[in-house]
Chain A
Amino acid sequence: MIGSIILTIALACSIFSVIMYYLSFKGYKNTLNYGRIGYHSMVLLVLTASFILEYLILTHNYGFKYVYDYSSNDLAKGILAATFWAGQEGSFMLWLLLSSIVGLVLQNYSSKRGDLEPRVMAVFSLATTFLLIMVSPLFKNPFASIWSEPIFLSLKDVNPSFMSLPFLQSFRFTDAQSGQIFIKMNSELFASLSSVGISLKEFIINGKGLNPQLLNFWMQIHPPILFTGFAMATVPFAFAMAALMKNDYKEWVKQSFPWVLAGAGILGLGIMMGGYWAYEMLGWGGYWAWDPVENSSLIPWLVGVASIHTLLVQRKSQAVGGIGKFAKTNLILCLLTYILVLYSTFLTRSGVLGDASVHSFVDPGMLIYLFLIIFIGTFLVMGFGMVMYRWKNLSEKIASDEAVLSRDLALFTSAIVLSASALIVLVGTSAPIFGKAVDTFFYSEMHIPLAIIIGLLNGLSLLLQWNMTKGKDLLKSSIIPLSISLVATLLIVILGGVNDIMMMLLAFSAVFTLAVNIDIAFRIIRANFSMIGAYVAHIGIALFILGVIGSAGYSKQVEVNLEKNVPVTALGYEMVFTGYSPIENTNKYQFNISLKKDDKSFKVAPIMYISDYNNGLMREPAILSMFTKDIYVSPLGYEESDGSGLTTVNKPKEVLTITASIKPFINFVWTGVLIMVIGFVISVIRRLKESLK
């Protein structure tokens, strides 16, 4: 109850803050401070509400529907705390919480940069207002009581000492099929309980628990990072709107640049952490399945990264005066980044994906659906309405020729290629709305040529100087990296057995980028360390692409039946299943397998168990990481029989079935992403300094 009240007051503060900031922009003198007070109060209230929710979870207060639905007594502390964002309501709450904090930094940042604050914060508080409406008692409120809608409690979750209460008998139900007994929890039962002085916390002693596939280390950090990325995507939108409101397109470029970079870095990290989680935990052997939920966070990332490239051109071209090149492109891309985050939320939470994704939330109701449409619609109309309104002012003629061989054009083309990639993913992911779906080869076939172009373009554009380069100069400077790449590609083709022409081209373009970037990074690292961010990020991307080529294109997989203590040779390893053993303090079993190759021996232990949560068999793979490859062992099943189905007097055969696969250079995928993120960090620091100039 108190949580809902706090959130409602926070909503009022947020609306107040929007109005006050807007009035300050309109020229009112005394309203700026009110706007700040409104925003800060909102943040304080949201923080308080979040603490209350976390407290309710940690103290197992199952009188709240959210706590009952997603946690239970047996969860470890860290995971228990992370059930804060295990469900729809809580993840909106997390998004809101992180947005408010990002806004706090933004308020401080913008207050130091001229008259920026009222415009930026008016738009930003509008975004928090919508999130607050989302978690209000009208929609996805995490503080809803358990009896707000009738719910059937399993008998084991109810305190047995109250079972003899006479009025309870009329709330008992027996499931005809399974014979299980349930207690119907509704407002009447709540009233009866309170009349005899029993609190819900005493009455309900355990919760439903967490989906076993969320019971993972990454559950504690992947969602917060991803939602920080989402929250930060609001900032470029706010900056673009601020520029449009003032009709001044010069300053916003350098002011928003560090935010765009930081947002893209964090979102990218969050997305790939999800990929690593999937790889390590979910056992389908991959880190990316083109699942709609994965895709929908990738789309805004791609657009955000595209905007980085054109913002760079605009900033450079401002040196000759005027607002610079690509003013319209940049505004549109920055607006789109946030709108696509909202669209992604709509896709995954409105129920439109239905059967298309395992991730999707099941039918949240028509109201939510409509509200999400209004949410996106507002920001879409507001953003693009303003762009159209200012269109004429944005068409400033810039007197400079563009040659085909210019870095400007290369950067612009890369933004186009990234946007094309975003469009492809968007089209494929949105298809389920129209009752269709695309096969995953749609994405991979489309992206191979794009990735080749990105690699070549990046290498070339760095060799090109700003504006113009003579063909001769380009040839001269590219001889060394080109020859290195040719040799390296040749080695990859011969040693790695790469025989597909597209893969050869992709490998070549990745190595080319790698060579050029490393070359430049080394040349400038002494002179100016702060400048190497972009090169480091591109080295990361090149390594990432090489990792993808190896792990996606050239992994080998076999299914093996391992009879206990009988060696089987597969993938060049001698594998022996040595029996299973229970893991302490859990209901899990590890299946021990020893691997031998030449004189080296290794041990892996994939895990299987029956989950109490859904009575399903859960499997967890085991991964043996080496420098050049991972050996990935995914359990399939275990059987004790003689194989013929007949019972025998002899000891039964114990057979473990696994899929074993070798994933070459998958480490490059992870290190590539990490290096890319480091590049982003270096760039953010540099651009942060520049934004004050």
Chain B
Amino acid sequence: MAYADLREFLATLDRSGQLLTYSDAVDPEPGMSAAARAVANLTDRGPALVFDNINGYEPGRSRVVLNLVGSWPNHALMLGLDKDTAIKDQFFEFARRWEAFPGPVERRDDAPWQEVTVGGGIDLFRLLPLFRLNTYDVGCYIDKACVISRDPDDPDDFGKQNVGIYRIQVKDKDRLGIQPLAAHDLGLHLRHAEERGENLPIVIAIGNEPVITTVAGMPLAYDQSEYEMAAAIQCAPYPITKAAATGLDVPWGSEVVIEGEIIAGEREIEGPFGEFTGHYSGARRQPVVKVHRVAHRTDPIHEQLYIGKPWTEMDYTVALNTSVVLYRQLKAEFPEVAAVNAMYTQGLLGIISVRQRFGGFAKAVGLRAMTVPHGLAYCKVIIMVDDTVDPFNLPQVMWALSVYYHPFYDTVIVPNVSVLALDPSSEPAGITHKIVLDATTPAPPETRGHYTQLVADPEGTAEWEDIIRRLLG
């Protein structure tokens, strides 16, 4: 099922009725962003969008792709599943494939992005149809590229080589702003480089098959290779090619490969940028990238991600990779955890289903979610439900909250703990209270409530679900 590159995945989307190509003329702003916002507003089963007639660029030769994985059918197709696969089934399939980590990589030296090389006179705006995503963004951003770097203190460690997604402001034709937060792997690489007084070589690879960008947004351990995880999730060796100037490993199938350096010690105004919280980020002084070399396919495709108030494509791309990470970390200690749905604003809110061992058990699991690595910056609101409740089925979760949750007994508030600074409710930025809402059935020694006469499904309901599904075709 592995897709060699973006173009192969686009062909699959097209065959599956999940691709819309718009060939009427559009200005770079605001039409393409508005279209991506609109498709996310309309449906969670929407298509990817291709624009191939962008004002100022040659029609047919400059293309922008948006909303590539911005729906559950597209997410399922990314995994090589039937496009109607239920979210919960996609979750368990993702978790199952993780077991094959680390998968193999395949080194190749014939990447299609080697077709054209530009070493001087670089103008990224002419190479790619860059555009402002949200009205008050400070400028044009690249926000779905794989950013690749190595640890300068351990440059030969393949696992510590990082592939991540970072927001990148295009400040000039060959000068970029980047946001490697201290807690990110790229932030650690930059710290080591700056402690050594060295610039940090990086590659920015644009236009990839969807698994590597999904894995790049996954909260993996520092020494876990995203390429080896992509191989596990794709069920096939992951092809990579060395970039000429930096020697960094790049997806074989990329459209555009930008090589450059983060300049040691330099910080410059960056932002605001409309973020996944649905709010602008404000401006800070952040690192700067000098671009030295660009390699690309003939007529490269610019894949970009619209981001803003949830839900957008960003929410689909991180929904299950975040949920599966939390699930695995919790289940390692608590096998009673049945499933985790942490797909709300990257896991600021999560729902965990669990089989209660004894009274207070679910609350303990909820508190533990806040102290796994991802939980330190997220998991502000945790809803605990019984293992008989599907955490991906919000009507079921709301039912559990409405009849099992008792505000006096079932609320745990943890004061003044860490959260990502982008959470607009945090005060000061990066500090918040967190809460567990326990909507599980009380277990002994707790005996409160009246839960002995649950209305079960009539006998044969599951069979009838199959019959009706078949009849609906």
Task: Say whether A and B bind each other.
Answer: no
Q: Which residues of B pack against A, CB within 8 Å?
A: none
**Interface residues, chain A, CB within 8 Å of chain B?**
none
